[in-house]
């Protein structure tokens, strides 16, 4: 079992589930993004998801796109992402996953990236545009380095694609609760329940739900049927509007949804 899966399993044993918090590296600047990520863990986030800014973020909503574009405009590079991972893992015990589109990893060099991420203390990758049956080179590199690999599953995924995601993922399977791009919504799509059930039928033992979760009540609702709740846009908005203090308060409020009454 991976470090990420261990954390999620322990939270289930504790009677709830895990809170996964996303922030982009380099927004509003690199030092602040590092402090914000540390603040998430200090405020109750169980697993960190650090996004690497990319010029063509097809899955990201407006809030995250604006933040990542600002980071790129400030000169963000992949080396900065690895620097941030190393700085954060030296300060917190929570596992740190990197969310990245696949092209930057290919440009950097798959084996080189795996080695450098491992050296920085990273736990693995979430790859939204890389499907399990096309990930052969990453499967080899991640097996060699024992890094986690988190593949996505959507309501539109076929049963075959779901089985592939379950078989090849390590850490958890990322269940996309709604069709489309990221962003906070008033209601978490009921399709998430059906998708998680289908993943369970396919053999998943660790499934986290993301896209659209923005309140403690939604976190609590998701943890009724999933192993973890992933929050991104709500945290990025807090950081944008109120800095590290605001993102810490938001994370603490969201973490309340993981507590057993």
pTM value is 0.93
Q: Reply yes or no on domain 3-258 having CATH 3.20.20.70.
A: yes
At residue 177, the pLDDT reads 73
> For position 180, what pLDDT does the model report?
45
Q: Hey, how many other C-beta atoms are within 10 angstroms of the C-beta on 77? A: 15
Residue ranges of the chain with per-residue pLDDT less than 70: 1-2, 56-60, 178-189, 261
User: Of 115, 166, 119, 111, nearest to 138 (Cα)?
Assistant: 111
In sequence order, what DSSP letters do the residues of 195-261 get, joined into one string? HHHHHHHTT-S-EEEESS--SHHHHHHHTTTSSEEEE-HHHHHHHHHHHHHHHHHHHHHHHGGGS--
Map out the domains of the chain as residue ranges: 3-258
Q: What is the pLDDT of residue 55?
A: 74
pLDDT attached to residue 181? 44
Active site members:
49, 60
- Whether the upstream peptide bond of residue 158 has omega within 30° of 0, thus cis, is no
Q: What is the pLDDT of residue 71?
A: 86
Separation of alpha carbons 107 and 233, rounded Å: 27
Tens digit of pLDDT for each residue in 182-223?
455 555 567 889 999 999 999 999 999 987 888 999 999 999
């Amino acid at each position: 079992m991976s470090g990420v899966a261990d954390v999620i399993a322990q939270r289930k044993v504790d009677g709830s589930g895990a809170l996964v918090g996303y922030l982009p590296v380099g927004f509003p600047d690199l030092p602040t993004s590092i402090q914000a990520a540390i603040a998430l863990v200090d405020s109750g986030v169980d697993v960190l998801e650090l996004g690497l800014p990319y010029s063509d973020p097809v899955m990201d909503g407006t809030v995250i796109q604006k933040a990542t574009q600002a980071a790129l405009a400030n000169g963000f590079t992949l080396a900065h992402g690895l620097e941030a991972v190393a700085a954060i893992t030296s300060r917190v015990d929570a596992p740190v996953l990197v969310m990245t589109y696949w092209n930057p990893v290919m440009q950097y060099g798959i084996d080189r990236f795996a080695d450098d991420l491992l050296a920085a203390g990273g736990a693995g990758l979430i790859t939204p545009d890389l499907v399990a049956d096309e990930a052969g080179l990453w499967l080899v590199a991640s097996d060699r380095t024992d890094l986690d690999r988190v593949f996505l599953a959507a309501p539109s995924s076929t049963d075959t694609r779901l089985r592939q995601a379950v078989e090849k993922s390590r850490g958890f399977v990322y269940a996309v609760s709604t069709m489309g791009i990221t962003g906070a919504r008033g209601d978490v799509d009921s399709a998430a329940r059906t998708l998680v059930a289908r993943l369970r039928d396919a053999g998943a033992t660790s499934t986290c739900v993301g896209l659209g979760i923005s309140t403690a009540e939604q976190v609590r609702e998701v943890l009724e049927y999933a192993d973890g709740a992933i929050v991104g846009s709500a945290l990025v908005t807090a950081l944008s509007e109120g800095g590290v203090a605001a993102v810490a308060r938001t994370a603490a409020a969201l973490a309340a949804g993981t507590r057993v009454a």
